[in-house]
Structure 1
């Protein structure tokens, strides 16, 4: 049986934790920081866990990340 392929876009953007949750970076931090509030930039640091609905979209694209 051939191996299943992992979606390249998902392996670059997401990471699955040991408990099965999906980590992702915050949106809105590529450019245009000057117009964003300091509160937004502070809260958008690091990574966040996705909600269950979004996890259901990402996990099938990463078959070996469970």
Structure 2
């Protein structure tokens, strides 16, 4: 069997934590910040972990992620 390929876009955007969760950047902060509330901008700093259903999808893209 040949090796499975990792999706290039996924390896650039996601990383796996020590407990196996998927870490990703916050969505919705590229443009249009004037219309966003200060609370939204503040809460969307840094990174976040994906929900369980989304995690399952992303883990399929990265078969060798530890």
Give the TM-score normalised by structure 2: 0.92
Q: Whole-Å Cα distance in 2 between the matches of residues 18 and 3 of structure 1?
A: 24
1:13 is aligned to 13
1:42 is aligned to 42
Q: Whole-Å Cα distance in 2 between the matches of residues 19 and 4 of structure 1?
A: 23
Q: Whole-Å Cα distance in 1 between the matches of residues 17 and 48 of structure 2?
A: 11
1:31 is aligned to 31
Structure 2, unaligned runs of 5 or more = none
Q: How many residues align?
A: 66
Q: CA deviation at 1:5?
A: 0.7
Q: Whole-Å Cα distance in 1 between the matches of residues 56 and 23 of structure 2?
A: 13
RMSD of aligned Cα (Å): 0.9
Give the TM-score normalised by structure 1: 0.92
Q: Secondary structure at the match of 1:45?
A: coil
